[in-house]
Chain A
Amino acid sequence: MRSQISRRAFIKGSIAAAGTVVAGTGIAKAADALVNGKKEPLATLLDIQKCIGCEECVRACRDVNAAKYPEPEKPFPKMYPKTVPVQDWSDKREVMDRLTPYNWLYIQHAFVSLNGRETELTIPRRCMHCANPPCVKLCPWGAAKQEKNGLSRIDADLCLGGSKCKAVCPWSIPERQTGVGLYLELMPALAGNGVMYKCDRCYNRLEKGETPACIEACPENVQTIGPRREILEQAHTLAKEINGYVYGEHENGGTHTIYVSPVPFDQLNAAIEKGKGKPHLDRVENMMADGTNLSRAMLIAPLAGLAAAFGKFYLKSKEK
């Protein structure tokens, strides 16, 4: 693993200078989109065929967000029942091959057949930033938030670590660290279990008009950020050019992370390693659709109650 990183670092170093020039133009465009695209949510386009798996984005993410990482107090308070799982990544901070509270972005590898040749594709994976994020909408305390620019994030000062966000996320993205956060001040034995962590799309950098660290650091310009409508247009144009496929446009009712791949996503999904901290690339139905439909139907309830009361009154008056 260590030697792979070094080799990648070498590859990265050799192309960084050229990349910086090209990236500069991309960043300028993104910054312009951030300013002018305020009324529309921002989305990112990830061109999978450009990714060389150098992990520069992963390291940039870790550097820029290091101050947000948990510093748990040990020993952890006892929790009841005793079977409540302690999740401690604080001694495994170096892990980069999956999502953890200390690693919000990682590279997935897929060996697939492309134009008759066995090829390795590398895919940066992190929170999809759903258009209607279940993690935010169903958080019982309002600890998960969605900004007007479409990003979703978890407030580490408010989160109790109940992991509901992970349970309702179609990709199970958020990761928990025990022994940190508000629950320690409340009833640590009986409620809460730490704080949930995930990509916040560098919200504090976006607020300053800067681009997320992973986008800025990428020597290959894998990612592009801009208003969602424009990003979708770019994604479809690119997909047409390479005879490729789009992921993230309709998943979970639409996300703000759009992948374009030269191979179908069901093939990619079959080829990647999936499991804990390693999200799938499967098709995802709109998890909030039932609730949204029912909420519209809920408008009928008061009208039906009114109609029933007056109907009863009318029938009684008629009887008299």
Chain B
Amino acid sequence: MKSKGKTRSYIYGLILFLITLSGFGQMPIFSRYYIASIPGLGWLGEFYTTHILHYASAAGLIFLAVYVLFDFVVQGAGGKRITGSGYLKMGIIAGLIISGGLMVVKNLPGIYWDHTAVIVLDLTHLGFCMALLMVSLYTLIFKKSWVK
């Protein structure tokens, strides 16, 4: 059971790493700061590659989030309850998924949204991303788990 939980954590960590890296790759910073010039990291400066990786990582995050949530709902966690930081991270991930989902819809052909709404959506998604990174760093440093 413990090893399954660890596998889940590693998968979550990997998805979080890839989705953050590819998310920051949507901004033109990796080429400017020569990170894309490091051998093996050239793809970080290719926007279509990071775009696809971001979508694929997002699909992985959505799968994992829905799986873990419903697994918890139908099976419980052996009397454990979700911690405060767990609820906070759940809320932020939900925000990321909803705002990201709306951005995916926005990118479909034939979709014209109000410009202000698009800007608010972009900034909201970035805000949720920064919040998740900060809360995740906090829970990692202070060893706060999702449930106890």
Interfacial residues, chain A to chain B (CB-CB below 8 A): 81, 83-84, 131-132, 137-138, 140-142, 145-148, 155, 158, 162-164, 167-168, 191, 253, 287-288, 290-292, 294-295, 297-298, 300-302, 304-306, 308-310, 312-313, 316
Instruction: Please name the residue on chain A nearest to B61 by beta carbon.
Output: A301
Nearest Cβ in chain A — how far from B60, in angstroms?
7
What would 10 A/B residue contacts be, using CB atoms closer than 8 Å?
Answer: A145-B115, A146-B112, A162-B32, A167-B47, A288-B107, A288-B109, A298-B55, A301-B62, A309-B66, A313-B74
When distances are taken between beta carbons in the complex, the residues of chain A under 8 Å from B88 are none
Instruction: Tell whether, in the assembled complex, residue A310 and residue B115 are in contact, meaning their CB atoms are under 8 Å apart.
Output: no
Q: Which of A146, A168, A294, A306 contacts B47 (CB 8 A)?
A: A168
Nearest Cβ in chain A — how far from B21, in angstroms?
15
For the residues of A in contact with B, the DSSP-based class is: helix
* A84-B32, A291-B55, A298-B59 as given contacts; A138 in contact with B26, CB under 8 Å: yes
Nearest Cβ in chain A — how far from B80, in angstroms?
17
Instruction: Tell whether, in the assembled complex, residue A305 and residue B64 are in contact, meaning their CB atoms are under 8 Å apart.
Output: yes
When distances are taken between beta carbons in the complex, the residues of chain A under 8 Å from B69 are 309
Query: Would you list the 3 A-B pairs with minimal beta carbon distance, nearest first?
Result: A305-B66, A309-B70, A162-B28
When distances are taken between beta carbons in the complex, the residues of chain A under 8 Å from B140 are none
Instruction: Please name the residue on chain A nearest to B46 by beta carbon.
Output: A167
Tell me the complex Cα distance, A140–B71, Å: 35
Instruction: Tell whether, in the assembled complex, residue A142 and residue B115 are in contact, meaning their CB atoms are under 8 Å apart.
Output: yes
Find residues 19-43 in chain B having any chain A CB closer than 8 Å to their own CB.
Answer: 26-29, 32-34
When distances are taken between beta carbons in the complex, the residues of chain A under 8 Å from B66 are 301-302, 304-306, 309
Instruction: Tell whether, in the assembled complex, residue B52 and residue A298 are in contact, meaning their CB atoms are under 8 Å apart.
Output: no
Instruction: Please name the residue on chain A nearest to B119 by beta carbon.
Output: A142
* A137-B106, A298-B59, A316-B75 as given contacts; A164 in contact with B47, CB under 8 Å: yes
Which among A83, A167, A297, A301 has the highest number of chain B CB atoms within 10 Å? A301
Chain B, residues 117-136, CB within 8 Å of chain A (1/0): the string is 01101100000000000000
Nearest Cβ in chain A — how far from B65, in angstroms?
7
When distances are taken between beta carbons in the complex, the residues of chain A under 8 Å from B122 are 140-142
Nearest Cβ in chain A — how far from B48, in angstroms?
7
When distances are taken between beta carbons in the complex, the residues of chain B under 8 Å from A310 are 70, 74
When distances are taken between beta carbons in the complex, the residues of chain A under 8 Å from B55 are 291, 294-295, 298
Tell yes or no: B104 within 8 A of A by CB. Answer: yes
Interfacial residues, chain B to chain A (CB-CB below 8 A): 26-29, 32-34, 47-48, 51-52, 55-56, 58-60, 62-71, 73-75, 104-110, 112, 115, 118-119, 121-122
Tell me the complex Cα distance, A305–B64, Å: 6
When distances are taken between beta carbons in the complex, the residues of chain A under 8 Å from B63 are 301-302, 304-305, 308
When distances are taken between beta carbons in the complex, the residues of chain A under 8 Å from B52 are 290-291, 294
Tell me the complex Cα distance, A162–B108, Å: 23
Tell me the complex Cα distance, A191–B30, Å: 12
For the residues of B in contact with A, the DSSP-based class is: helix
Q: Which of B27, B71, B105, B112 contacts A312 (CB 8 A)?
A: B71
Q: Which of B65, B70, B107, B115 contacts A291 (CB 8 A)?
A: B107
Nearest Cβ in chain A — how far from B38, in angstroms?
14
Instruction: Tell whether, in the assembled complex, residue B62 and residue A305 are in contact, meaning their CB atoms are under 8 Å apart.
Output: yes
Tell me the complex Cα distance, A245–B13, Å: 52
Which among B32, B51, B62, B108 has the highest number of chain A CB atoms within 10 Å? B32
Nearest Cβ in chain A — how far from B4, in angstroms?
10
Tell me the complex Cα distance, A290–B47, Å: 12
Q: Which of A131, A290, A295, A309 contacts B74 (CB 8 A)?
A: A309
Instruction: Tell whether, in the assembled complex, residue A305 and residue B47 are in contact, meaning their CB atoms are under 8 Å apart.
Output: no
Instruction: Tell whether, in the assembled complex, residue A305 and residue B109 are in contact, meaning their CB atoms are under 8 Å apart.
Output: no
When distances are taken between beta carbons in the complex, the residues of chain B under 8 Å from A84 are 32
Instruction: Tell whether, in the assembled complex, residue B115 and residue A305 are in contact, meaning their CB atoms are under 8 Å apart.
Output: no
* A301-B60, A305-B66 as given contacts; A291 in contact with B32, CB under 8 Å: no
Instruction: Tell whether, in the assembled complex, residue B58 and residue A298 are in contact, meaning their CB atoms are under 8 Å apart.
Output: yes
Tell me the complex Cα distance, A148–B26, Å: 25
Instruction: Tell whether, in the assembled complex, residue A253 and residue B109 are in contact, meaning their CB atoms are under 8 Å apart.
Output: yes
When distances are taken between beta carbons in the complex, the residues of chain A under 8 Å from B64 are 305
Nearest Cβ in chain A — how far from B148, in angstroms?
21
When distances are taken between beta carbons in the complex, the residues of chain B under 8 Å from A141 are 119, 122
When distances are taken between beta carbons in the complex, the residues of chain A under 8 Å from B73 are 309
Tell me the complex Cα distance, A141–B107, Å: 13
Instruction: Tell whether, in the assembled complex, residue B48 and residue A298 are in contact, meaning their CB atoms are under 8 Å apart.
Output: no
